[in-house]
Structures are given as C-alpha cells and as structure tokens.
C-alpha cells in the first residue's frame, strides 16, 4: 500500500500536523532524541487539508521510497495569505520527532546546482568529455559538475574544467558577476529540470568560453574521465545525452 501525503509550502513555510492530523504544528529545532512510538509530527493527508478548509493547487507528485515502502507526496501551493503560524521548512530537518517522510520531502525540494562550460576553439569545435562514473557513465558530456558551497557557478565551471581535463580557462565575465571583471563576450544559459518520479530538481548553469587553450595539454582525470575530444556542433549534438547539454549547445553555439 502506498501512503499519500500533501506537501503545502508558502514562502518558506510548510504545513505540518500531529498524529491525529491536527495542525499546524511547529517542530523543535535541534531536538536530537524523541522517546515514543512513531513520529508525532508529519505531513497532512488530502482529507486533513480539506478539513482545514485550505484550497491549494497541485504542482507535482514525488515517490519517496524507504526500503520496501512507497510514499506518494503531492506538492501544492496553498491559496492563502502567508501562513505565519506554519513551520519554517528549515526548522524541521534537525528535529528527530518529525516523520522521516516530511524531512525527506523537504530535502527533495532543495535544488541541485550544477555548472558546465562549452569550450569552443577557433575551428568552432566543442570540447566534450566521456565520463567514467556518475549519472552519465560511458557517455559524452560537457565539462562540469556540482557547484560547491559559497561558490559562484562561473567559478565552478572553471574549476571543473581544471579538475576534469587539466585545462585553465577564463570564462568571460564583463559585468564582474563572480567578483572580478573578465573581458569577452558573455554567454550563458540557466535551465531547470526534474527527470524522474523521485523529484530531484536540477538547476544547470552553462557558460560559453572561446579558447584554443594556448597549447595546454588536455589531461583527463583518471577516476572520472575516460577521454576528451573536440566535436563539430553537429557531432556534439549527436553524441550528447544530457538534455541540459543539448539545449545549451543549441542556444549558445
């Protein structure tokens, strides 16, 4: 049997209820021990939300799996003024009395931010890498990866190019968005996508950098990149597997 819950969120506030479906309930931030059976704080059901006379609009549904148990969580936007007496979503993560489904549901709403770079040479070719681990093992992708904490996506793309391929590049930043102005034609695409029923949300920054690399040797990272190669735009679009990469190439090259 799949249990179903409703995740209602409004400007950082989330609706939580007690075991009996009464709410709103406020978590205790930092509560590391909970003595008792089950979790006293959880997400509401459809019926419980209806009993509170809250109108809401559905956005999407995710499936959360814990072992052999499936939980369907439907995400919605409540049609009410800002609910001051609801819980801050950040406060429930550290309260052990909150049901794991609710905590996992909030975790799913956090964006996974990745940053990539389209390096083109004077022959209008695109540098791509065949990855040896991760989501696209054995496939060709643009150089890039996860943005580190407190790191600008532009800086992340430059760092990933160095880490994955051993090349030093300077992505143009004429406005100094990442802190230091770098001359050149600025080009970037920001995309957002959810690819499966688990509901992980990806935000991708892709930048363009025209660079013949000045004689630098491309050195693929041993445990991550099998090889790197220059492709024509046509061939790059044929070998690319990530829709984020494909759309970025179409828009920037």
Confidence class of residue 33 from pLDDT cuts 50, 70 and 90? Answer: confident
Q: Is the pLDDT reported for residue 154 higher than 90?
A: yes
Q: What is the mean pLDDT of residues 98-109?
A: 94
pLDDT in tens, 182-193: 988 888 999 999
- Write down which residue in 108, 131, 151 finishes a domain: 108
Q: What is the CATH number of the domain that holds 13?
A: 3.90.79
What count of residues does the chain have? 253
What local confidence, expressed as pLDDT, does residue 101 receive?
A: 95
User: Which value, to the nearest 10 degrees, does the dihedral of the CA atoms of residues 223, 226, 230, 235 take?
Assistant: -120
Whole-Å CA distances, 92 to 12, 25, 99, 231: 12, 10, 9, 48
Residues 76 and 186 grouped into a single domain: no
- Kindly report, residue by residue over 160-208, the tens digit of the pLDDT: 999 999 999 999 999 999 888 898 888 899 999 998 888 999 999 999 9
**DSSP structure class, residue 89:** G
Is 36's pLDDT higher than 80?
Answer: no
241 and 123 in a common domain: yes
Give Cα 189 to chain centroid, integer Å: 15
- As given in the structure block, the two tokens for residue 61 are 């549904």
Q: Which of 135, 118, 130 is nearest to 202 (CA)?
A: 135
The CATH number that applies at residue 176 is 3.90.79.10
In terms of domains, do 236 and 157 share one?
A: yes
In the chain, pLDDT over 90 holds for what percent of residues? Answer: 85
Query: What pLDDT is attached to residue 185?
Result: 85
129 and 226 belong to one structural domain = yes
Total domains in the fold of the chain? 2
> What is the model's pLDDT at position 167?
98
Residues with Cβ < 8 Å from 20, sequence gap 6 or more?
A: none
The yes-or-no verdict on residue 152 having pLDDT over 90 is yes
pLDDT value, residue 19:
94
Domain holding 247, by residue range, is 112-252
Kindly report the average pLDDT of the chain as a whole number.
94
Structure tokens at 103: 């905590």
pLDDT at 195: 87
């Amino acid at each position: 049997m799949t249990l179903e819950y409703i995740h209602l969120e409004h400007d950082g506030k989330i609706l939580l209820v007690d075991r009996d479906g009464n709410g709103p309930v406020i978590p205790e931030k930092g509560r590391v021990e909970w003595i008792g059976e089950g979790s006293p704080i959880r997400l509401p059901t459809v019926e419980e939300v209806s009993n509170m006379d809250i109108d809401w609009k559905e956005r999407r549904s995710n499936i959360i799996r814990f072992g052999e148990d499936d939980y369907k969580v439907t995400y919605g936007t409540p049609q009410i003024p800002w609910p001051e007496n609801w819980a801050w979503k950040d406060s429930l993560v550290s309260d052990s009395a909150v049901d794991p489904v609710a905590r996992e549901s909030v975790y799913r709403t956090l964006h996974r931010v990745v940053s990539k770079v389209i390096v083109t040479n004077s022959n209008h070719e695109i540098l791509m890498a065949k990855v040896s681990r991760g989501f696209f093992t054995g496939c060709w992708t643009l150089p890039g990866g996860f943005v580190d904490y407190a790191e600008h996506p532009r800086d992340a793309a430059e760092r990933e190019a160095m880490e994955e391929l051993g090349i030093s590049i300077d992505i143009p930043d004429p406005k100094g968005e990442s802190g230091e102005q770098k001359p050149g034609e600025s080009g970037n695409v920001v995309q957002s996508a959810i690819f499966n029923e688990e509901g992980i949300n990806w935000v991708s920054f892709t930048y363009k950098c025209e660079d013949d690399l000045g004689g630098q040797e491309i050195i693929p990272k041993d445990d991550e990149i099998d090889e790197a190669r220059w492709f024509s735009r046509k061939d790059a679009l044929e070998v690319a597997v990530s829709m984020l990469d494909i759309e970025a190439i179409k828009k920037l090259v």
